[in-house]
Amino acid sequence: MPRLISAVGLTRVYRRGTRVVEALRGVDLEVDRGEFVVVMGPSGGGKSTLLNLIGGLDRPDSGSLHVAGFDVGTASQRALDGFRRRHIGFVFQFFNLISTLDARDNVALALLARGTPWKAARRRAAQLLAEFGLADRVGHVPAELSGGEQQRVAIARAVATAPDVLLADEPTGDVDGATTTAIMDLLADLNRRRGVTVITVTHDPALIPYGSRLLTLRDGTFG
């Protein structure tokens, strides 16, 4: 069976004025379906860049990258947009919820983008939020939710379309210790119960026990 993610020799270079930043330097990575991979490393080590490449938000300067059989490195922008909708779920440190929409509609938008009719999307969103312990919060906008509640809404949005892989960029970086445990328990449950492949990047060693595999990314390379 082919790997869900296969990357060989990935490089990504950013130019900021006269300064050249080698965010990734020849990274190789293989991930199987059903894995929970934790990528540790310091800030600026290339972790977010790696997630952005896997999720089709950015392109490598060299090397090859295939995700769910899709060639991320050579695809057109239109194809990349479709790839993200079909295969990728994102969870970010600062939640990235739409401030004017309630929890249900924030989740429903992801389904709407996949072509689900609006009423059905809102119904499914409410079901997901109830599964995540937010049945009484579906009509609340982000400002009325705690940080942990906002992150659970963001996770519901990310998995609403049944993605092949869930990419979590410092998912507990803006919450306290008890909420960190609750969020990571939820991600672990999604991995075990639904078979969602999870890749989370973090600098927090408290997340290490949740992974089935630990990688360390420092200065643009795995070490």
Residue 8 lies in a domain: no
Q: Which domain holds residue 215?
A: 35-48+81-222
Tell me the three-class secondary structure of the chain, residue by residue.
CCCCEEEEEEEEEEEECCEEEEEEEEEEEEECCCCEEEEECCCCCCHHHHHHHHCCCCCCCEEEEEECCEECCCCCHHHHHHHHHHHEEEECCCCCCCCCCCHHHHHHHHHHHCCCCHHHHHHHHHHHHHHCCCHHHCCCCHHHCCHHHHHHHHHHHHHCCCCCEEEEECCCCCCCHHHHHHHHHHHHHHHHHHCCEEEEEECCHHHHHHCCEEEEEECCEEC
In a domain, 194, yes or no: yes
Q: What is the pLDDT of residues 86-125, one digit of tens each?
A: 999 999 888 899 999 999 999 999 999 889 999 999 999 9
pLDDT(1) > 80: no
**pLDDT at residue number 187:** 95
- Per-residue pLDDT tens digits for 43-62: 888 999 999 999 999 999 99
Q: Looking at residue 39, which CATH number applies to its domain?
A: 3.40.50.300
pTM for the predicted model, two decimal places: 0.93
Asked if residue 210 belongs to a domain, the reply is yes
In a domain, 173, yes or no: yes
Dist CA 94 CA 169 (whole Å): 9
Do the domain assignments include residue 11? Answer: no
- How many domains does the chain fold into? 1
Residue 72 lies in a domain: no
Per-residue pLDDT reduced to its tens digit, 164-212: 999 999 999 878 888 899 999 999 999 998 899 999 999 899 999 999 9
Q: Establish if 13 belongs to a structural domain.
A: no
Please give the residue that has the higher pLDDT: either 42 or 2.
42
Residue 64 resides in a domain: no
